[in-house]
Amino acid sequence: MSQRQHSSLIAVLGPTNTGKTHLAIERMCAHSSGMIGFPLRLLAREVYDRVVKLKGSNRVALVTGEEKIIAPDAQWYLCTAESMPSVKQDGSDFAFVAIDEAQLGIDPERGHIFTDRMLYARGRDETMILGSESLRPLIQQLLPEADIITRPRFSTLSYAGPRKLSRLPRRSAIVAFSVEDVYAIAEMLRRQHGGAAIVMGSLSPQTRNAQVKMYQDGEVDYIVATDAIGMGLNLDVSHVAFAALKKFDGRRRRKLTLAEIGQIAGRAGRHQKDGSFGVLSGLASSDELQPEEIEKLEDHSFPRLNWLYWRNAEPDIGSVEALIQSLEEKPLDRLLRPAPEAPDLAVLKRLAQDPVITNLVSHPDHVRLLWEASSIPDFRKVGADHQARFVASLWPYLAQGAGRIPHARMAQEISRLENVQGDIATLAARIAAARSWSYIAQKSHWVEQADVMIDRTRDLERKLSDAMHSQLTQRFVDKRTRVLMRGLLKDALPQDIEIDSRGSVLVEGLEIGTLKGFQFTVPSDSRREDRKMLLAAAERYLGTIMTENADALAKAPDSVLALVADAAGQPAIMWGDARLAVLAKGKSLLNPEIKFDRSLKDMTPDNMKKVEDRVRAWVEAMKAKHLEGLVKIDALASEEATPPSVRALFAQILEAGGIVDRRDVNDAVRALDNDMRGHARRAGLVFGALDVFHHALMKPGAVSWRAGLFAALNEQPMTDLPPDNAVHLKEWKFGNMQEASRLGFRKVGQEFVRVDMAERLIKQAHEARQQGDVFAVDPALATSLGLATEVHEALLEVAGFAKTDKKPEEASVDNPVVDKPVDGVGENQTVAAPAAQAQVANDKKSDEVAEAEKAPDTSAALPLVYWQWKGMGRAKNNYAKANNQRRHVGQKPRGTGKGESKSGQNLGHKKAARKPEPVLATAGGAFAELAALRDSLKK
C-alpha cells in the first residue's frame, strides 16, 4: 500500500446488488498489479478463484490470517482487510488498491481496521473505496479529493410480510442471531422441506464453502445463516426471512439498525432477478417492522453515517505501557471516535499485568512481538481471559532462545485435534482450535519448520471441516423429504418412480421405503417424525402401482400364493414376500376365518375388493385341491341321504383332520353295513389295521394345509412340517402324538412312520401268512424305507403279529394253505382272498416307495425271523365265551331257539338280517378295499 496523495481516488457507493465488487475486480485486473481487501476470508477466497481463472495461479496471491498462497510472481493480491500488506513480495507497491464494504468502519470490533484502510491504503495509480450510500457525507468531509460514483441496484427489493416457516418460497435464506436458533430452524426445515445449508461465522471457511456450494447446486432449497450472510456473500437468494430483529452484539441485546437490516435483506435478488424480504410469523409486535421502516428499506434510504471508529494504526512500541496508551488515544478529527476495547487490546492489557510476561519484554522488538501475539484472533470465542492465558503459554518460546515455538509442541497440539469423531459442537470446538494453530503456522518467524506446520494445519482443518460438513448434512439435510416435497408443488414436473428387484421404492433415485405386495414399509433408518410424511408420499406415488398389483394378483395363477408360517407361527397367506392375510379360528376346521392384513385398508375400495376376492377364491381352490377328501366327507356328512351312522363316523374323521386311530372309531366302523361302507368308499376312506385315513391326505400339500387349519382352529403356532414326501422320521420332535397323527405319522418305538407306509408293511405281513401258521416276512421293503429292524418288528407286534422260535412246516406245492379265521376280528370276517391281495399288490406304488425300493436289497444278509398271527388283542365279551363253552359240551348255544337264527337274531321281526361284514373291516381286507376303491375311481 502507498499513501500517495496524487493517485486517483474513487468511491463507488450504492446498495447491495449493484456490481461494485465486480467493477473493482475488472479495474484491478486492468492494472499491472493490484490488491483488494475484503471483510471475509470466504469472500477473498471466492474472488481469488475467479482471478486465478483470468490471470493464472502463478500470478495471483491469497493472503488471510489463516491462509497464505503467494506465488513467486504474484501481482494481484486478494486479502482480508486485516491482512492487507503494504507492499508486494518483491517490495514494490501496488498499482491498484480497493477496500470492500468500507461502511464497516462503524463496527465496534473491526471498524477501526476499515477506517484505517479507507483513509490510508492507496494504490500507485488508482484507489477505490466500495461501500453503501450512507458513507457519502463522511467521504466528502474526510476525503474531499475522492470522486463519488453512485450505482443503482440492478433489481427491485420488496417487503413480503410475515410468513410461516413452512410457507417460505424456495431459494430462501433465514437469518437468525444465535447458534441455537440456527440449528432449531434448520431442523424444522429438514422436517418440512428436506433440509437447509448453514452459514455461520464460527464455521471454518472450508465448511462454509461446502455448505454454500450445496445450496448453490440446488441440493437444498433453503439456507440458514447468521448476519455473516450480509458480508458480501454472493448467493442465489430470492427471499430473506428474519427469524429475529434483535441480536447480542457482545455487550447488550439491541435491535438491528436499518442499515444492518438492509445489508442482510439486500442479499435477496441477484443481478436482474427481483428479491423480497420479510420476517417469520410469531415475532413480538415490538420487533415487527414499521411501515416507514419498510419504505426506507425498499428505497435503500438509510441514515447517513456521522462518524467512524478509529484506532492508532502506528502505536508507540517503546514499552508495553506506551503501547497501550497509544492504542487508547483519541482521534483529533471529530468525525472519528475511539474504537471500543477490541479483543486484541483486552488480551494485551491482561498480559501486561503478568510479571512473568513483562519480565521477558526488554526492548521495542519484544513490545512489537507481544502486540503481534496479542492480536491472535480469538477463533474459539473464549473471551479475553482465556485467550490471554493461551498467548501467555506461547510467550516464553517467542521471547527467549531462538524465538520460535518448538516443533514438538506444535505437533503435539495438532495431533490432539486430529480426531474427526464427535457431534457438531465438538467438531466446531476442534475447528476453532485448529484455526488458531493455522494462524500461528502462517507466522513463519514464530515456528520451526514453518512449511511442514502450514501443511499439517491445513490438512487438519480440511479433515475437520469435511467431518463438520458431513455432520451438518447428516443432521439437517434429508434428501428424501426434499424430493417428496418438491413433488407436491403445483408446477412440479412428473417425478421418476421406480421399484427395484428388492422392492425398494425409488423417487428420483432416492429410496422412500419398501413395497412388498401391498405393504409399504418406511426405511428403518428414518426418524420417527418422518414416518407420517413418508407414508403420505407412498399413498401419493403408489396409487397406480397398487392398482396394477391388484389387477396382476386377480389374474395370477394359484401358484403365486402360498400358505406358510409367518414369524409368529400363524398360518399366513403370502404373495411372494408379502403377507396378504392369516387364517384364524372359524366355525370349523374347514371353514377358518380369513383376517386380511392391515396394509390392504390403505388401498382404494375397488383394489381392496379385488385382493380379498382373489384370496378367498384361492383358499377354496386349495381346499378343493389338497383336501378334496375332507371336503367330500364334509359334503356327504351334510347330505340327508347319508345314514346317521356314517355321519357320526364322518364327524369323527373330520374332527381329526382325515386321519384317526382305528381304535377310536372301531365301534362306529363295526356298526356300518355294506351300503354304509359304500358311502365310505365313495368318500375315499381307507380302513387300515391301525388307522382310518383318506388316501389323498398324505401328499405334502394336504399335510401343509391340515397343519395350517389346525393352527388356526386351535389358535396356536403352526407345527413344523417334516420334509416333503418323507415316509419315515428317525429324529423329529412333535409336541404330542396328536400333532404326529395330524401330519400323517404314527409313532413306532422311538421313530415315526407315515400311516400309509405302516399299513403297507402290515399288508406285506398278511400276505406272508399264506406260507402257513409260521412264516417269515421279507425285510427288504422296511429296509428300503429306512426302518431299523427293531422298528419294523415293533410295528408288526402292534399289528397283531408275534415272533416265534418255531420253524415253518414243509408244505406241498400241491396242497396250498387254507385261509383261517383271524382271531380277535370276528367270526364272519376272514383274511382277504389271495386274488384281492394280488390286486392291491399290483396297484401303482406311491412315488416315495417306488424310489425307496430302488435301494439295494440287504435283507439276504440278515437272519430269518419267523412270525405267527396272534390277533389285534381285542377281548371277547362274556356272552361269546359262554356260547363257546356250550358248544364244547354238546349243548345248544343260547339264543338259537325257535324263531331265532344262529346269530341270535329274532326271525319274527321285520328287520332284515345283518349281512356279513366285508373284508373292509379285517386287517388284510383294508388293502383289498383300497384296491377296489382305486379300481372304481379309475373306471
What three-state secondary structure class fits 715? coil
What DSSP line would sit under 597-626, residue for residue?
Answer: -GGGGGS-HHHHHHHHHHHHHHHHHHHHHH
Q: Give the integer Cα–Cα distance in Å for 146 and 800.
A: 128
CATH class for the domain made up of 157-299? alpha beta
Domains 8-150 and 157-299 share a fold: yes
Q: What pLDDT shows up at residue 285?
A: 64
Q: What pLDDT shows up at residue 838?
A: 34
37: closest CA among 105, 107, 101? 101
Neighbouring CB atoms inside 10 A of 809's CB total 10
Which residue in the block uniquely carries the three cell numbers 517490495? 91
Copy the grid coordinates of residue 656: 381329526
Q: What pLDDT shows up at residue 731?
A: 76
Copy the grid coordinates of residue 731: 429324529
Which residue in the block uniquely carries the three cell numbers 480440511? 462
Under 8 Å between Cβ of 657 and 703: no
Copy the grid coordinates of residue 2: 502507498
Q: What pLDDT shows up at residue 487?
A: 57
> In order along the chain (939 residues), what is the average pLDDT of each group of 10 residues?
66 92 95 94 90 95 92 94 91 94 92 96 96 94 95 91 90 92 91 87 83 90 88 82 87 87 88 89 76 91 93 94 95 94 94 94 93 93 93 94 92 93 91 93 91 92 92 83 60 62 72 76 72 70 81 91 90 89 92 90 87 93 89 81 81 87 84 75 80 86 90 89 84 78 86 90 90 88 88 90 82 41 34 33 40 45 81 52 43 44 39 40 43 49
Instruction: Tell me how far the alpha carbon of residue 405 is from its chain's centroid.
Output: 50
Q: What pLDDT shows up at residue 12?
A: 97
Copy the grid coordinates of residue 131: 461501500
Q: Give the integer Cα–Cα distance in Å for 606 and 604.
A: 6
Cβ-based neighbours of 3, under 8 Å, separated by 6 or more: 120, 122
Copy the grid coordinates of residue 176: 437468525
Q: What pLDDT shows up at residue 736?
A: 76
Under 8 Å between Cβ of 343 and 108: no
Copy the grid coordinates of residue 83: 491482512
Copy the grid coordinates of residue 900: 331265532
Q: What pLDDT shows up at residue 286?
A: 64
Under 8 Å between Cβ of 918 and 925: yes
Copy the grid coordinates of residue 856: 439295494
Which residue in the block uniquely carries the three cell numbers 461501500? 131
> From residue 517, how far is each of 552, 578, 907 by CA, in Å?
11, 5, 71
What three-state secondary structure class fits 740? helix
Copy the grid coordinates of residue 374: 496479542
Under 8 Å between Cβ of 618 and 573: yes
Under 8 Å between Cβ of 346 and 384: yes
206: closest CA among 462, 474, 457? 462
Domain boundaries, the chain: 8-150, 157-299, 342-475, 479-541, 552-625, 627-869
* 580-613 residue pLDDT tens: 999 999 998 899 999 998 888 878 889 899 999 9
Instruction: Tell me how far the alpha carbon of residue 456 is from its chain's centroid.
Output: 38
**Dihedral sign for Cα atoms in the order 46, 51, 52, 57:** negative
Task: Tell which phi-psi region holds residue 205, choosing left (phi > 0), alpha (psi between -120 and 50) or beta.
Answer: alpha
* 879-889 residue pLDDT tens: 344 444 444 44
Q: At 751, give phi and psi (nearest 5°).
A: -125, 175
The beta-carbon contacts of 611-615 under 8 Å, at least 24 apart in sequence, are: 611/518, 611/550, 611/553, 611/554, 611/580, 613/554, 614/553, 614/554, 614/556, 615/561, 615/573, 615/580, 615/581
Q: Give the integer Cα–Cα distance in Å for 70 and 60.
A: 7
Q: Give the integer Cα–Cα distance in Å for 466 and 463.
A: 5
Instruction: Tell me how far the alpha carbon of residue 793 is from its chain's centroid.
Output: 59
Q: What is the CATH number of domain 8-150?
A: 3.40.50.300
Under 8 Å between Cβ of 692 and 686: yes
Which residue in the block uniquely carries the three cell numbers 345283518? 914
Q: What pLDDT shows up at residue 498?
A: 72
User: Which of the 8 DSSP states describes residue 305?
Assistant: P
What DSSP line would sit under 819-878, residue for residue?
Answer: P-BPTTT-TT-BPPPHHHHHHHHHSPPPHHHHHHTTS---GGGSPP-EEEE----PPPPH
541: closest CA among 499, 503, 575, 580? 499
DSSP H stretches of helix in 400-449: 407-417, 424-441
The two counts, helices (H) then strands (E), for the chain are: 33, 35
Element (H, E) at 195: none
